[in-house]
Amino acid sequence: MRDRWGKKAFQAAAATTILILGGLTLFLFQEGLPTLWKSPYEGVTYAVHPQNPLPHLSPEAVQALVRGETTWTALGGPEAPVVPVYLANLDRYVSAHAPAPLFKHILDSLATLPGVLFALPPSLLPARTKPIDVPWNGWKALFASARWSPTYEPIPSVGVWSLLIGSLWVSAIGLLVVVPLGIAMAVYVVEFLPKKLYYAIKMLWEVLAGLPSVVVGFWGLMVLVPWIQKIFHLEDGETALTAGILLGWMTLPLMASLVEEALQAIPPLLIESSYGLGATQWQTILRLKLPYIMPSIFTATLLSAGRILGETMVVLIVSGNAPLLSWSPLMPVRTLPATLAAELGEAPVGSYHYHVLFFLGIILFLITVSLNALAYVIQPKTRSA
């Protein structure tokens, strides 16, 4: 009887977990995928002066015109200065408190400028203008650009490459720190540490693992950032390297305990045989123990990678957060989770910015899932070898 209830309880727990996980995944995709077909300027019509000969404009051209990086002449348009008029900058021309007739009058007179570029809801658009097509391509915006400026008006830049590369840098450096150090620490604890100190060290690990990441991040900003700055003679110590080192250090307890558990679980018979054959302690460690636990080391590495990839607070504080295409670990980076944390708070629900942030979530999710899948595929092979 009790067994049956136990089974039922487990079934219920499993079903709930699957439902919740499935629901979360579904939600993630439901909110993120619209990025691919939704345009950031829905409900806004682009219009130019009737004599402007251009039939259509690319979103990049609109951005360049507004930013002042190109001129109408360069695009084959009229020889006139660009006058962009969009919702966010309207009060440069007219007070939002202006009475309706004045408001309309000012918009009408703006429409007479040959270089004007309107991006307004159709209800506000002056009559004597020529609508112009600005075709939006979601894939292109996400993957053909490296610029991340998701709240720029009238058209945001949402290239994900700088964020992806930022995440890759930080994870790679973090793993370079945590994998050798984690293995070394575990081997030391199992092989050389006096039994009396064992529990003290274990406790220290647990304390380290329990440190709130915001504390680690702030410590990094106060101490590690100036060090990095001094050691490498940089103008600024907030770099991918700083974040990577801190993350590696934070993940150390996880990595070390996983490796340690694996080391403890090696059948004593094997170890004794090794010693019996005359192998020294070092030979046993290098030739028997480490190769034997290779699959566990691999799993531990992947788990650490997942932890590092998803860590938010530390990178937010010490990585500089500049959305650059970094080619060196000594440059500031902006990672995927840091971007989510910094921006999701004020992205209005349902806006393009909101969907893009969820799309970043999908990318992060896919990376993690494929890492786990990789672990699953490779693990049995190494074990049989």
Partner 1 sequence: MWRWGIALLLLSCSRRELLRIKGSDTVLPLSQAFAEAYMMYYKAPLISVTGGGSGVGIAALLNGDTDIAMSSRPLKLSERLRFQEKGRTLIEDTVAWDVLALCVHPSNPIERLTRSQIADIYTGKIRNWKELGGPDLPILPYSRESSSGTFEFFREHVLRGKDFASDVRFIPATGMMVQSVSQTPGAIGYIGVAYVRPGVKVLAVAQDGDTAYCYPARSRKELSRYPIARPLYYYYDQTRAPALAPFLRFIHSDTSKALVTQVGYIP
Q: What does the binding site for partner 1 look like in residue numbers (CB under 8 A)?
A: 63, 66-68, 84, 87-92, 96, 121, 146-153, 157, 162, 221-222, 225-226, 229, 235-238, 316-317, 320-324, 332, 334, 341-343, 345-348
Nearer to partner 1, 23 or 68 (CB): 68
Judge whether 332 and 321 are in contact, CB under 8 Å: yes
In the complex, the smallest distance separating the C-beta of residue 369 from partner 1, rounded to whole angstroms, is 28
Nearer to partner 1, 120 or 262 (CB): 120
DSSP 153-171: SSS-EE--HHHHHHHHHHH
Nearer to partner 1, 303 or 342 (CB): 342
**Rg, Å, the chain Cα set:** 29
3-state secondary structure (DSSP) of residue 133: strand
Nearer to partner 1, 334 or 355 (CB): 334
Rounded Cα–Cα distance for residues 115 and 117 (Å):
7
In the complex, the smallest distance separating the C-beta of residue 230 from partner 1, rounded to whole angstroms, is 10
In the complex, the smallest distance separating the C-beta of residue 373 from partner 1, rounded to whole angstroms, is 33
Nearer to partner 1, 209 or 325 (CB): 325
In the complex, the smallest distance separating the C-beta of residue 308 from partner 1, rounded to whole angstroms, is 19
Nearer to partner 1, 242 or 284 (CB): 242
Displacement of CA 242 from its chain's centroid (Å): 17
The helices-and-strands tally (H runs, E runs) of the chain is 17, 6
In the complex, the smallest distance separating the C-beta of residue 241 from partner 1, rounded to whole angstroms, is 15
> CA-CA-CA-CA torsion for 181, 187, 190, 194, nearest 10 degrees?
-80
In the complex, the smallest distance separating the C-beta of residue 249 from partner 1, rounded to whole angstroms, is 20
In the complex, the smallest distance separating the C-beta of residue 60 from partner 1, rounded to whole angstroms, is 13
E strands in 124-194: 130-131, 148-149, 157-158
In the complex, the smallest distance separating the C-beta of residue 35 from partner 1, rounded to whole angstroms, is 17
Nearer to partner 1, 201 or 342 (CB): 342
Q: Which residues face 85 on adjacent strands?
A: 118
Nearer to partner 1, 212 or 348 (CB): 348
Strands 83-86, 116-120: parallel, antiparallel or unpaired by DSSP? parallel
Rounded Cα–Cα distance for residues 211 and 145 (Å):
38
Taken as a whole, the chain contains a residue count of 385
For residue 150, the 8-state DSSP code is T
DSSP 22-56: HHHHHHHHHHHGGGGT--TTTT-EEEE-TT---SB
Identify the CA nearest to 300 among candidates 244, 260, 242: 260
Rounded Cα–Cα distance for residues 295 and 262 (Å):
9
